[in-house]
Amino acid sequence: MRRRIGLLTLVVKDYDEAIAFYVEKLGFELREDSALSADKRWVVISPANDAQTAILLARAAGLRQERAIGEQSGGRVFLFLETDDFWRDFATFSEKGVHFLESPRVEPYGVVAVFEDLYGNRWDLIERKAATG
C-alpha cells in the first residue's frame, strides 16, 4: 500500500494576503485558486511543482477558526521547509522581510533557523545534512 499526505490545511485571515506572502516572500507556487462560493475559495500552494505535499489556504470561518490563526501548533514549529541551499534561501527570505526568530544554527541533522509566516505560525527553514552510511 502506498500512502502520502497530499494536502494540509493552514487557516488564514485573508486569501489574497496569504497568497502574497507565500508566493512573493517565500517563492511558493500558486497551484490552484478556484471560487467555491461567493466567499469561499480553494487555494493550494506549494514550494515547487514537484512537491508531493501542498498547503490548502483556508480562510477562517467563525470565531474558533479565527482564534487558531497563527496558533495551529500551540506556539511550536508547525511546518518544515526543506531546502537544498539554506544560505541562499535564508538570504532571500531575509531580504524580502521574512522575520526569523533566531540566527541560523548548525545541528547534527543540518542547518536550521526558525521563521514566522505573516500570522505568526512558526516554520523551520532547514537544509538536512546528507545521510551517512
pLDDT at residue 1, as a whole number? 87
Q: For the chain, what are the domain ranges?
A: 1-69, 70-133
Q: pLDDT by residue (tens digit) across 9-60?
A: 999 999 999 999 999 999 999 999 999 999 999 999 999 877 789 999 999 9
- Type of residue at 2: R
In terms of DSSP bridges, do strands 29-35 and 41-46 run parallel, antiparallel, or are they unpaired?
Answer: antiparallel
Give the helix/strand (H/E) hosting 61.
none
CATH number for the region 1-69 comes to 3.10.180.10
Answer yes or no: CATH 3.10.180.10 is held by domain 70-133. yes
Rounded CA gap, 78 and 121, in Å?
7
Q: pLDDT by residue (tens digit) across 91-133?
A: 999 999 999 999 999 999 999 999 999 999 999 999 999 865 5
pLDDT at residue 133, as a whole number? 55
